[in-house]
Amino acid sequence: MSLSSTDPLIIPEQPFLKRVFGMLWADKFAFVAAIFLIIVLVLAVIGPDWLGELAGKQNLRGRNLAPFDWGREWVYWLGADALGRPLLARIIVAGQNTLMVASGAVVMSAVVGTFLGLIAGFSGPRVSQVIMRLADVIMSFPSLLIAVIVLFLLGSSILNLVAVLAITRIPVYLRTTRAEVLEIKERMFVQAARVMGASSRRILFRHILPVVLPTLTTLATLDFAYVMLAESALSFLGIGIQPPEITWGLMISQGRQYLTNAWWLSFWPGLAIILTTLSLNLLSNWMRIALDPVQRWRLEMKGRKNG
């Protein structure tokens, strides 16, 4: 008895970008989040080239410079770290590594996990068993321990870090995808595709995957926070990213000992993590709706009304 089926809707198709913008405008939180993320992304791309030198410029006489000294150069507005390097510049420069590690790990684990999950959900019991046992092994392997062992074996580099963080997160995607696939593959439209003679690959990637995708997107954005924090925890244990490379997690970990004398050292990078994850979450909530043709109208309506 859904009311939306009363009349066929005629929604004039707008150019893609305009539509996206309209839908974003409709959700102010998501709009702000998107703008913030774009800024973060842009800074992450240009940051090291733009400010790399400045971020590394030491000044032992200006150690732990307090923030909000508007009289100084803008890069010092958030204060300076233990070597007198401008925190704002460092946060901008660190953004690149942070986002690279986090998105690298999230994308890698999501792709591998989803792929294995699709296979496990769709193939026979034997293959599924093997994959699920593999997931169990990783799941019951404490993630920090995997990280330590692998980083000891392979050495601590950004790539290895990405790999380690990805490995520990694979089961999450794997199990979610598999559970969803088991449910979705019984749905009528999948049966309909089979009746048409669609191959398993087609059914998996054209029919099942798009339905699972929103859930995975949400999961991935949540994981983004997790991965940034895990990276930070590894830095705390001294096995994460190693200086002179910087990430937000490493900055927090390094600034932690100054917490009582110079809170800003660990506070600003912490804030950067929080704001980024918050924005990602807001945006993913928006995306769930925007990606779903059934729900999309909510945003399009508001977008038009407001815009």
Partner 1 sequence: MKRTMVFGALMAASLTAGISPAAAGSGPIKIVLAEEADLLEPCMATRSNIGRIIMENVSETLTELDVRGKKGVMPRLAEKWEQNTDGSWRFHLRHGVTFSNGTTFDAKDVKHSFERIMSPKNACESRRYFGGMNVAINIVDDYTIDFKVDPAQPILPLLMSLVTIVPEETPLEFIREPIGTGPYKLSNWTPGQQIVLSARGGYWGEKPQVTQATYLFRADPAVRAAMVQTGEADLSPSISQLDATNTKTDFSYLDSETVYLRIDHNIAPLNDVRVRKALNLAIDRQAFVGSLVPDGAVLATALVPPTTLGWNPDVKVFPFDPDGAKKLLAEAKAAGVPVETPITIIARTANFPNVTEIMEAIQAQLQDVGFKVDLKFVEVAEHEGYYSKPFKEGRGPILVAASHDNSKGDPSFTMFFKYASKGTQAGFSDPKVDDLIQRATAAVGDERAKLWSQLIAYLHDDVVADVLLFHMVGFSRVSERLDFKPTIATNSMLQLSEIGIK
Partner 2 sequence: MLSFIRKRSLSSLISLIGLLVLVFFLSRLTGDPAALFLPVEASAEMKQQFRELHGLNDPLLVQFGHYVGSVMTGDLGESLRKARPALDVVLEAFIWTLWLAAITMSLVAVAAIVVGSLAAFRSGGFFDRFSSMISLIGASVPDFWLAIVAIVVFSIQLAWLPTSGTGSVLHWILPIAVLFVRPFGIIVQVVRGSMIGALSSAYVKTARAKGVKAGPIIFVHALRNAMLPVITVMGDQAASLLNGAVIVETIFGFPGVGKLMIDSILQRDFNVVLAAILVTAIAIFIMNVLIDLAYALLDPRIRH
Partner 3 sequence: MADHLLEVRNLSVDFFTAAGVVHAVRGISYHLDRGETLAILGESGSGKSVSSSAIMNLIDMPPGHISSGEILLEGKDLLTMAPNDRREVNGKRIAMIFQDPLSHLNPVYTVGWQIREAMTTHGMAQQEAEAETLRLLGRVGLPEPEHAVGKYPHEFSGGQRQRVMIAMALALRPDLLIADEPTTALDVTVQAEVLALLKELQRETGMGVLIITHDLGVVAEIADRVVVMEKGVLVESGTVREVYKNPSHPYTKKLIAAAPGKGEMHRPAVKAEPLLVVRDVRKRFGAFDALKGVSFDLAAGETLAIVGESGSGKSTLARMLLRLDEPDAGSAHWKGRDLFKLSPAELYKLRRELQMVFQDPTQSLNPRMTVYQLISEAWAIHPDILPKAKWQERVAELLVQVGLSADHMGRYPHQFSGGQRQRIAIARALALEPRLIVCDEAVSALDVSVQAQVIRLLDQLRRDMGISFIFIAHDLPVVRDFADYVMVMRKGEVVEMGTVTQVFDTPREAYTRALFAASLDPDPDVQAAHRAARLERAS
Separation of alpha carbons 112 and 168, rounded Å? 12
Separation of alpha carbons 230 and 41, rounded Å? 21
Question: Is residue 193 a contact partner of residue 207, using CB atoms and an 8 Å limit?
Answer: yes
Considering only 96, 143, 176, 254, the residue that binds partner 1 (CB under 8 A) is: 254
Binding range to partner 2, per CB under 8 A, among 40-48, 108-116, 273-281, 299-307: 273-281
Query: Pattern 193-212, binding to partner 3, x per CB under 8 A?
Result: xxxxxxx--x---xx--xx-
Considering only 74, 152, 189, 205, the residue that binds partner 3 (CB under 8 A) is: 189
- Phi, then psi, of 81 in degrees rounded to 5: -90, -170
DSSP, residue by residue, 269-295: HHHHHHHHHHHHHHHHHHHHHHH-TTT
257 binds partner 1 (CB under 8 A): yes
Question: Is residue 215 a contact partner of residue 118, using CB atoms and an 8 Å limit?
Answer: no
Considering only 189, 192, 274, 295, the residue that binds partner 2 (CB under 8 A) is: 274
**CA nearest to 235, candidates 306, 115, 144:** 144
211 binds, among partner 3, partner 2, partner 1, none (CB under 5 to 8 A by kind): partner 3
R_g over Cα of the chain: 23
Residue 80: strand pairing partners? 86
39 binds partner 2 (CB under 8 A): no
Count of residues of this chain found to bind partner 3 when the rule CB under 8 A is applied: 32
Q: Which chain residues interact with partner 2 by CB under 8 A?
A: 129, 132-134, 136-137, 139-145, 148-150, 152-153, 172, 222, 225, 228-229, 232-233, 236-237, 249, 252-253, 256, 259-260, 266, 270, 273-274, 277-278, 281
Q: Which chain residues interact with partner 3 by CB under 8 A?
A: 1, 3-9, 11, 13, 187-189, 191-199, 202, 206-207, 210-211, 292-294, 297, 301
